[in-house]
Structure 1
């Protein structure tokens, strides 16, 4: 397991104060593309930013900057959704999205946010259920935008997108959370964890354990408090027959979350692994 890449990722996400979101998001792909040079991808983004800066003057109001950025991003560069293969992991890897111009909401949002930052437009990510959004604060008010298409969404449209999620979660009636609760800006760490969990879902679905392990290692680094990620790293290790480290992760999960509902299942797993290791 390439520890060098994990050390690099660890240093990027160590503190919330100076969190290089774009760089960390690009670096995630190194588990699947070990030869990827993150700085080259950063340079590529800077070049796109430079072309955009030529069209923008310092005095330009935010709304106009946003219109120019949208036109540049969606029309000139041609970014948009990968409708043919939405669940292709490459839709999540920034370097790949820059090549194909095809991505999912969160990967497109990260590139859009980075370009916005380069022209002094404060754009935030919003972890909206089932569809990552972006939020731009302008003197005229808040704009919530769909990163797949650049469409601005009204409160009513957002509520309609949210309702099926609220129904599924049983958050209706007196417990219903207001729309605003789902539109707050996410921190870079939250955005990156959502980014990783998208990949986790894809790799889990296709039983790609080696790839999943690369993602789990990064989730544990990114979210040191999240014991379920330690457990899931253990499960990925077990699938790959790394029995000792798998047992260690699962044991730590059991020791540190005594109230977990899956305690018995994980204990059972540990026993099976211990038997396996005796037979090896």
Structure 2
């Protein structure tokens, strides 16, 4: 951004020892939006003082975050919630300069390879087996336990690049590919798990009020961490082990907004250390934004 008098003055005041002055200055800088980031980066490069560099870094982060709030608001309010775009917005929290085109290209390449093996004569389970074979055997996608010591396992671009993620991020990639291939795969609301269901397109599970109706609406389930399919009996056995009574609501598909919200909530737990508490608060702020 071309510097004017106000920008020049604001940049020289970043090192003001008065916290009130610094707060006012930083808020005004943030008001300029992402266009001012190159000016801040240039100032950082020419500032030898570590404390001032940390101030500049925090201002840059807040500029990115303010833009991200706007992007999430637009995604929330859009008529169609693109799951890939929502997952990329989550990744941009930690990687604000993320180039999305390579991610989109690689996912499209995966989709084409799966599509070549599909045909209309396959049963739902056979279709899932084709997707699973390409994704987990050919591309060698690996699943990890959900842990909070590696935030990268939650980011869609890292999953696509490194072919490794947890059940949530792998599940999001799985659903993105399934949607591109017109396969009826959705996440379901089973407690304490992120599980995919292969839905029967002839049954309206959204309006199911009885467990038997929900059972009619899902042919089988998929463990997104490794692609393994499993049955209703497996799910019922799990719920029994954890002392949870099956309810129809557990088997209704999660909305894309709720999926991205859950991704943000889980990611926030990666930032529990004192120096990163602000990141946890910001991620929960983004998650709460999707409630509206």
TM-score between both structures, scaled by the size of structure 2: 0.65
* Alignment check: 8 A CA contact 1:104 1:148 kept: yes
Specify the alignment match of 1:204 in structure 2: 272
RMSD: 2.5
The CA distance in 1 between the partners of 2:136 and 2:232, in whole Å, is 23
| Alignment partner of 1:155 is 2:217 | no
The CA distance in 2 between the partners of 1:61 and 1:113, in whole Å, is 18
* Alignment check: 8 A CA contact 2:148 2:267 kept: no
Matching of residues 114-193 of structure 1 within 5 Å:
114-138=176-200, 142-163=219-240, 165-166=242-243, 177-193=245-261
* Alignment check: 8 A CA contact 1:146 1:153 kept: yes
Matching of residues 29-40 of structure 1 within 5 Å:
29-40=91-102
The CA distance in 2 between the partners of 1:77 and 1:117, in whole Å, is 19
Q: Secondary structure at the match of 1:18?
A: coil
The CA distance in 2 between the partners of 1:222 and 1:201, in whole Å, is 18
Specify the alignment match of 2:111 in structure 1: 49
The CA distance in 1 between the partners of 2:289 and 2:148, in whole Å, is 27
The CA distance in 1 between the partners of 2:284 and 2:134, in whole Å, is 35
Residue 159 to residue 87, structure 1, CA distance change in 2 (3 Å): farther
Residue 6 to residue 120, structure 1, CA distance change in 2 (3 Å): same
Specify the alignment match of 1:8 in structure 2: 71
Q: Which runs of 5+ in 2 are unaligned?
A: 1-61, 202-215
Q: Which runs of 5+ in 1 are unaligned?
A: 172-176, 225-280
Residue 101 to residue 157, structure 1, CA distance change in 2 (3 Å): same
Residue 154 to residue 59, structure 1, CA distance change in 2 (3 Å): closer
Aligned length: 214
* Alignment check: 8 A CA contact 1:74 1:80 kept: yes
Q: Secondary structure at the match of 1:209?
A: helix
Per-residue CA distance 1:103-139 (angstroms, 9 max, x = gap):
1111111111111112211111113222100011248
The CA distance in 2 between the partners of 1:70 and 1:95, in whole Å, is 19
The CA distance in 2 between the partners of 1:142 and 1:135, in whole Å, is 8
